[in-house]
Amino acid sequence: MLSPFQRVHSMRSLLLVVLLPGLSFAQPKVDPAKPLTRIVFGSCNDQDKPCPAWDAIAKQKPDLLLFLGDTIYADLDKKQKVTAELIKSKYDQLDTLPAFKILKSTVPMLGVYDDHDFGKNDGDVKWPLKDDAQKILLDFYNVPLDSPRRSRKGVYHAEVYGPPGSRIQVIMLDGRYHLSGAIKGKYDPRVRTTPYIPNSAEDATFLGNDQWAWLEVQLKQPAEIRLLCSGIQVLSEDHPFEKWMNMPNERAKLYKLLRDTKAEGVIVLSGDRHLAELSMSLDALTYPLYDMTSSGFNQATPSWRPPERNRHRVAAVPFGNNYGLVEIDWSRGTSPLVSLQLHDDDGRTLVRHDIRAGMLKPSEQAAGGDKFGDKAAKLPEGVISATEALTKVGDEVTMQFAVKASNKTKDGKRLFLNSDADFKGEQNFTVVLTGAILTEGKWKDADPATFKGKTVRVKGKVSKFQEKPQIVVNDEKTLEVVE
């Protein structure tokens, strides 16, 4: 049954239908020869709640609307068993809302599922309804029966829009169909959740072999700007929920693929977190990599909450419903202006960050090594990365990492080597030099400058101090600088 707000909202939208009797509800298509200038995106829409964002987005008159997952919620009612019929009924319910019907009839749309429209919270490769979820989503977006998307295992898809010189490539990743099982830690009362911990297994995957191979081909297609769409965040490392950093080797593989293909103009769009924010990393690629998160259309936390930990954040919108907008001014010649924006559900601009597309081009800087997070793939046999060592508490290991931060206690009795510039970060691993190693032998005069920026190899047992993994070293034979 509709709430009073929904009835008023529906009556208003229905009036628009009456006033526009010739309006066709066949989903429109993008003119492939016309440059796109306004692309709206977002995620997380509960079909049972009002969604003023539909009207606000319609007023933006976007060229394209991208749904990054959780377009509907099929698994909120714990008393109902999730079935293919139930998933479809939720999409059908959304399709009956007048405001959404008008939006769908006037704005071209592309979409992928995340977990709730996949049918299971944090769902993965084991979900038995994944093929049903794929078909239902493709039907919802009116994907032709002869489309390659109908025969793939997963809903990943890419399109290039616009003429040479003003091409935008949209790459929609499927992070559910092939997703390996995650690893959970212990319940953390501080954040009232059971956090995910890194899964560095060699066979752990986000995308699966076929999708990885497909992505490599797509990244070699000519385009000036590439919108890489992921249901969950790519850059964020510090919060305990779903993110690409939960499989650090897979994220490193993504960064390496972006570098190896020399893909220019990459901007990540993501969802899932029921908040909005803009993140940026200078270490992932040889140019700044942005990740703009928009979530949700009507599922964001309504009241103020502190921003989640995120060392890469440029701007935060930690509460309030929202959608994202990528606006491109192609009149700027070879380096168009790209405006990354976050709006509330009334259409007001909350964040605007402008960049020149010319900034998003690969440099001649050599790629690889710990700076880019993929050193683990090049380590000698039997040597593990700092990220993998985080999961080896109690084990004797040989590990290697680049020292991003180092400091020494005032009494000079301990010297700390950190794998992350933020030594308090969740992904940091600390090596503690103490005892004889600082008073005799080749490291007796060592200070933070001795190791910072160097790559070290360390042997020892992984222990914990205040819940943080570390290795304590007091024998110079167990520590060496390898580069």
**DSSP β-bridge partners for residue 229:** 172, 269
E strand or H helix that includes residue 250: helix 248-260
- Per-residue confidence in pLDDT tens, the chain, 483 aa: 444 434 444 444 443 333 333 333 567 999 888 999 999 999 999 999 999 999 999 999 999 999 999 999 999 998 999 999 999 999 999 999 999 999 999 999 999 999 999 999 999 999 999 999 999 999 999 999 999 999 999 999 999 999 999 999 999 999 999 999 889 999 988 878 899 999 999 999 999 999 999 999 999 999 999 999 999 999 999 999 999 999 999 999 999 999 999 999 999 999 999 999 999 998 899 999 999 999 999 999 999 889 999 999 999 999 999 999 999 999 988 889 999 999 999 999 999 999 999 999 997 543 333 444 444 346 788 898 887 787 788 889 999 999 999 999 999 899 999 998 878 776 789 999 999 999 998 898 899 999 998 999 999 999 988 878 899 999 999 999 987
Task: Give the torsion through C-alpha atoms of 116, 70, 127, 388, to 10 deg.
Answer: -100
In 3-state terms the chain splits into helix, strand, coil percentages (rounded to 5) of 25, 25, 50
Beta-strand relationship, 289-293 and 276-281: antiparallel
Q: Are 169 and 66 in contact (CB under 8 A)?
A: no
End-to-end CA distance of the chain: 67
Task: Tell me the per-residue pLDDT of 282-296, one tens digit each, with 9 for 90 and over.
Answer: 889 999 999 999 999
Delimit the domains of the chain by residue range: 24-359, 379-481
Give the Cα separation of 64 and 45 in Å (integer).
Answer: 18
Q: Which amino acid is at 104?
A: K
- Element containing residue 4 per DSSP (H, E): helix 4-19
Look up residue 443 and give its amino acid: W
What's domain 379-481's superfamily in CATH?
Answer: Nucleic acid-binding proteins (2.40.50.140)
Span 88-126, pLDDT tens digits: 999 999 999 999 999 999 999 999 999 999 999 999 999
Interatomic CA distance for residues 115 and 127, integer angstroms? 10
C-alpha 71/C-alpha 297 separation (Å) is 9
Is the Cα dihedral 238, 483, 254, 256 positive or negative?
positive
Q: What is the dihedral of CA 313, 318, 324, 328, to 10 degrees?
A: -40
Identify the CA nearest to 347 among candidates 69, 38, 20. Answer: 38
Torsion, CA 142, CA 144, CA 145, CA 149, rounded to 10: -90
Query: Cα–Cα distance between 417 and 406 in angstroms, integer?
Result: 5
DSSP 3-state of 402: strand
Cα–Cα distances (Å) from 413 to 45, 310, 436, in that order, read 55, 32, 10
Q: Select from 312, 320, 339, 194 the least CA-distant residue to 244.
A: 312
Topology, domain 24-359: Purple Acid Phosphatase; chain A, domain 2 (3.60.21)
3 state SS of 237: coil
